[in-house]
């Protein structure tokens, strides 16, 4: 599959859109967990690092059906302003507190599966800060049920295993932590005032990055892509303004899981 995209002229002349990648965590072949957290970092709007809200925390990555799930990020406003929260890609079985940032709910047996691209952001009305996107895997019900709850700390990396008549077969996955700098000017030198978000393209070939993540929060400049299989992966970021015009790509970066 080839993703078609229309590139405009947003910021690329000045080379202000750059991207870096780092290994965020990978599962060990023996089934033990990696040490890095999928959502242990936070990001701030460029130029407002000292006054923007801070938000952190490590959401639980799995919850069994018919078991309560709860995550509330730790947040603070350096200016002492009241914060409100927003969420993207909220799971259908969960509720979200606009004043607390708490995501909670109990998925049913019919709601098993993976819920990806969840982004929680805190705003003081002027600037906002968002956690890197995270996923929640709803697994079949277990007995006895155990509640999954988190409010900070470090979450484990990703690894999974399955049993067969020949023994246990382990699969190894990892995560890539991406960060970039936002463009601040249009190609004609005028200030960029309508930046709307970013598109991240990635894949196992530098010429065919066929997977895409869309970010609709302009202040989010860090993102973690998880569940990447072992091998070499390539990534690039494109900025998008409110009219849908895209910048040229940031230039691809690569890393090996």
Over the stretch 65-77, which tens digit does the pLDDT of each residue have?
A: 999 999 998 888 8
Query: Do both 33 and 118 map to the same domain?
Result: no
Q: Residue 151 gets which letter from DSSP?
A: S
> Could you give the number of structural domains in the chain?
2
Query: Do both 125 and 65 map to the same domain?
Result: yes
For residue 160, being part of any structural domain is answered with no
What local confidence, expressed as pLDDT, does residue 22 receive?
58
What local confidence, expressed as pLDDT, does residue 26 receive?
35
Query: Do both 33 and 80 map to the same domain?
Result: no
For residue 164, being part of any structural domain is answered with no
Coil, strand, or helix at residue 110? helix
Q: Give the angle subtended at the CA of 232 by the CAs of 198 and 2, to the nearest 5°.
A: 50
Query: Do both 32 and 50 map to the same domain?
Result: no
Last residue of a domain, one of 119, 152, 185: 152
Instruction: Output the domain CATH number for residue 199.
Output: 2.60.40.10
For residue 115, being part of any structural domain is answered with yes
Last residue of a domain, one of 152, 187, 208: 152
Query: Do both 74 and 10 map to the same domain?
Result: no
Tens of pLDDT along the chain (257 residues)?
333 343 444 443 333 455 565 554 333 333 333 333 333 333 332 333 347 788 888 899 999 999 999 999 888 888 788 889 999 999 999 999 998 899 999 999 999 999 999 999 988 888 888 888 999 999 998 755 445 555 443 333 333 333 333 333 344 677 788 888 788 877 777 888 888 888 888 888 888 888 888 888 888 878 888 778 888 888 888 888 888 888 878 778 888 87
240 is in which domain, residue-wise?
1-37+169-257
Rg of the chain in Å (alpha carbons): 19
Buried residues in 34-67 as b, exposed as e (16+ CB within 10 A): bebbbbbbbbbbbeeeeebbbbbbbbbbbbbbbb
Alpha carbon 245 to its chain centroid, in Å, reads 23
Angstrom distance (rounded) from CA 250 to CA 248: 7
Query: Do both 30 and 63 map to the same domain?
Result: no
For residue 162, being part of any structural domain is answered with no
Q: What is the pTM for the complete model shown?
A: 0.44
């Amino acid at each position: 599959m080839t993703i078609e995209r229309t590139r405009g002229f947003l910021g690329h002349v000045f080379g202000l859109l750059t991207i870096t990648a780092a290994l965020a965590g990978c599962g060990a072949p023996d089934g033990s967990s990696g040490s890095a957290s999928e959502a242990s970092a936070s990001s701030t709007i460029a130029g407002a690092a000292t006054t923007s809200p801070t938000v952190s925390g490590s959401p639980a990555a799995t919850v069994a059906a018919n078991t309560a799930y709860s995550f509330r990020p730790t947040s603070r406003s350096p200016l002492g302003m009241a914060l409100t929260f927003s969420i993207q890609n909220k799971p259908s079985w969960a509720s979200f507190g606009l004043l607390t940032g708490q995501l909670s709910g109990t998925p049913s047996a019919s709601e098993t599966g993976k819920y990806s691209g969840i982004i929680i952001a805190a705003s003081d009305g002027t600037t906002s800060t968002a956690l890197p996107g995270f996923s929640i895997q709803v697994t079949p019900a277990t007995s006895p049920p155990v509640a999954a709850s988190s409010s900070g700390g470090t979450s484990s990396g990703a690894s999974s295993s399955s049993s067969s008549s020949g023994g246990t077969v382990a699969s190894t996955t990892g995560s890539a932590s991406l960060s970039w700098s936002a463009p601040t000017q249009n190609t004609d030198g005028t200030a960029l005032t309508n930046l709307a978000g970013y598109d991240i393209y990635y894949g196992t070939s530098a010429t065919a990055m066929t997977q895409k993540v869309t970010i609709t929060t302009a202040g989010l400049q860090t993102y973690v892509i998880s569940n990447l299989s072992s091998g070499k992966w390539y990534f690039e970021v494109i900025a998008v303004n409110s009219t849908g015009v895209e910048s040229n790509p940031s230039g691809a970066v690569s890393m090996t899981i």
